[in-house]
Structure 1
Amino acid sequence: MDSIELELSNSIKSDLIKNLNQITLDIQQIMGKIEHKGCCILNEFEQVHRVFSDLHMTAGSYYLNAYLSPFTDQFNEISTAVQHLSERNHGAIIAIERNDSLDSLIHSGTHINATLSCPLLESIFYPGSPLHDGAVLVKKNNLVSAGNVLPLSRAYTGKQKLGTRHRAAIGLSEISDALVLIVSEETGRISFSFKGELFPVHPGGLV
């Protein structure tokens, strides 16, 4: 369960193959249009990019569920909270402990030790909350603490410029098998970090 090469379900495989075949046809059409002088292909490129990005997020959502489901029964609570936070552009960072203990890897914030729930997560990350800038630590079905400081990544070499939340998520996943969910305060986009990499998530595919 620790590998990005986790087996996809048949339904996901079928959907991805169908859409990738369509993208292949679209690319072939673009190549044909390139031969015609004065033909603008910007719209076609944008359409291919949009479809490919959507497939990327769909696959990310599937893997996210697969990586978390053995370690918490509260996946739906996390998913619903993350969707609501995304819709409101409320930034969030949620570290879920898997096999590796995270106690020595983070700077502890405020101890909470409460059953994980959607309303609790949303209240913590509500703008203006004293704990909203830090990360919450989840162990199994409990929200252990909030306002935690995670180690920032020093090794990430991706092309995109990252904010502190994303660098912290990647930093923790570089030195542990933790999975860290992030909601961007600027865009509302959802992503997760695992094994030092960052993956987009489709909001509609979380539940």
Structure 2
Amino acid sequence: MTQGYLDLSQLKIKLKESLEEISAEINKGIKTLNNDSYCVLVELKNLKDKFEQVGTMAASFYLNNYLSPYTDKYLEISTCIQHLSHQRHGALIVIERKDGIASLIQAGTIMGATLTSSLLESIFYPGNPLHDGAVLIKGDKIYSAANVLPLSNTVSGGKKIGTRHRAALGLSEKSDALVVVVSEESGVISFAIGGSLFPISVTSSYI
């Protein structure tokens, strides 16, 4: 396991513990409502912050949970996207699952290389001729790079989203592929699956 990262079983335990803590605080807040002199607004703010942290943790857990049946290199992918996030290097990574996606994408450059974090990271280094477009991962191999994905017309929260995110959603709407996006503007990591986009905090140590 990569140093500094939790495996799936540890992450599940941490997620359960955090939810139990939130549940206990909610019950405590309900009881304090009987005290008219006690203001629960501060507690609600703390709960909101904790819910966001748990949401990040849950997204991280399910990302690796969705990846692990289809590639033994899921921790390599997690390590790579964390590095890309910190460097604000944009990335678009497709992990093929049960559905073949050859007919849904415009094929790029065939690689057929064993997946490593360093190789995957180097592909998205600015100036690399392969950094535009999506990397396609099949099993434990980087199958190809610079692939073009179908774009979605979906908007998020009433706002238009960037091309990488539209591409991630577009492919996830047409297949069961999991698509990871790193924003070069914010460094935020997201993944698309089943036509939905799930953000993961850049500061998370759980992915």
How high is the TM-score relative to the length of structure 2? 0.81
Query: How many residues get paired?
Result: 193
Change (3 A) 1:31 1:68: same
Match of 1:137 in 2: 136
* Aligned pairs for 1:1-207 within 5 A: 11-12=13-14, 14-21=16-23, 24=26, 47-154=46-153, 156-159=154-157, 161=159, 162-202=161-201, 203-206=204-207
Q: Which secondary structure does the structure 2 equivalent of 1:204 belong to?
A: coil
Structure 2 residue runs of 5 or longer lacking an equivalent are: 1-10
Residue 49 of structure 1: how far off its partner (Å) = 3.4
How large is the Cα RMSD of the aligned pairs?
A: 2.7
Q: Which secondary structure does the structure 2 equivalent of 1:90 belong to?
A: coil
Q: Which amino acid aligns with 2:177?
A: A
Show CA shifts across 1:43-62 (max 9, x none). Answer: 76654433221111100111
The answer on whether the counterparts of 1:81 and 1:118 sit within 8 Å (CA) in structure 2 is: yes
Change (3 A) 1:194 1:58: same
Q: Which secondary structure does the structure 1 equivalent of 2:192 belong to?
A: strand
How high is the TM-score relative to the length of structure 1? 0.81
The answer on whether the counterparts of 1:95 and 1:178 sit within 8 Å (CA) in structure 2 is: yes
Q: Which amino acid aligns with 1:21?
A: S
Identity %: 49
Separation in 2, partners of 1:192, 1:130:
24
The answer on whether the counterparts of 2:15 and 2:54 sit within 8 Å (CA) in structure 1 is: no
Q: Which amino acid aligns with 2:20?
A: K
Structure 1 residue runs of 5 or longer lacking an equivalent are: 1-8
Separation in 2, partners of 1:26, 1:11:
23
Show CA shifts across 1:105-131 (max 9, x none). Answer: 111111111111111111111112222
